[in-house]
């Protein structure tokens, strides 16, 4: 069983479109995250949710809107896609929001904006 899953694995779209990436974890964790990994492999946190509540919101354009319908899901919706949004997006989860918790990562979604 996959612990943290993301769909789709690949997403190719045109500039200006709106797209969503879904994330699900079956680990029973309380905290979920979204990260962006750019073409140079630099990984940066975007959002963090704990028990469906937003706790970290980095300086991300408001075209990005996370939604957590329940503790096991954290989806990412992106409006008006731009070329610079091309990246690999990783979802992760941890038992809770404590600083020392291990994060478990999904396989990533490679977004290409043309």
Partner 1 sequence: AQSVTQLDSQVPVFEEAPVELRCNYSSSVSVYLFWYVQYPNQGLQLLLKYLSGSTLVESINGFEAEFNKSQTSFHLRKPSVHISDTAEYFCAVSEITGFQKLVFGTGTRLLVSP
* Positions that interact with partner 1 (CB under 8 A): 4, 31, 40-45, 48, 50, 55-56, 90, 92, 94, 97-108
Give me the least distance between CB of 32 and partner 1, in Å please.
Answer: 12
Give me the least distance between CB of 73 and partner 1, in Å please.
Answer: 17
Q: Who's near 83: CB < 8 A, 6+ residues apart?
A: 15, 113
Give me the least distance between CB of 16 and partner 1, in Å please.
Answer: 28
Which residue in the block uniquely carries the two structure tokens 């704990």?
50
Give me the least distance between CB of 80 and partner 1, in Å please.
Answer: 27
Cβ burial 77-94 (10 Å sphere, 16+ → b, else e): ebeebeeebbbbbbbbbb
Please identify, using beta-carbon distances, which residue of 46 and 78 lies nearer to partner 1: 46
Please identify, using beta-carbon distances, which residue of 101 and 112 lies nearer to partner 1: 101
Q: Is 61 helix (H, G, I), strand (E, B) or coil?
A: coil
**Cα distance between residue 33 and residue 49, in whole Å:** 6
Please identify, using beta-carbon distances, which residue of 1 and 99 lies nearer to partner 1: 99
Please identify, using beta-carbon distances, which residue of 14 and 59 lies nearer to partner 1: 59
Pairing of strands 109-113, 10-13: parallel
């Amino acid at each position: 069983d996959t612990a943290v899953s993301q769909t789709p694995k690949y997403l190719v779209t045109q500039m200006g479109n709106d797209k969503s990436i879904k994330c699900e974890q079956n680990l029973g964790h309380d905290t979920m995250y979204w990260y962006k990994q750019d073409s140079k492999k630099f990984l940066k946190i975007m959002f963090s949710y704990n028990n469906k509540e937003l706790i970290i919101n980095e300086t991300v354009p408001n075209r990005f809107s996370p939604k957590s319908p329940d503790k096991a899901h954290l989806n990412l919706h992106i409006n008006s896609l731009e070329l610079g949004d091309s990246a690999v997006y990783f979802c992760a989860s941890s038992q809770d929001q404590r600083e020392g918790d291990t994060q478990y990562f999904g396989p990533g979604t490679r977004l290409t904006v043309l």
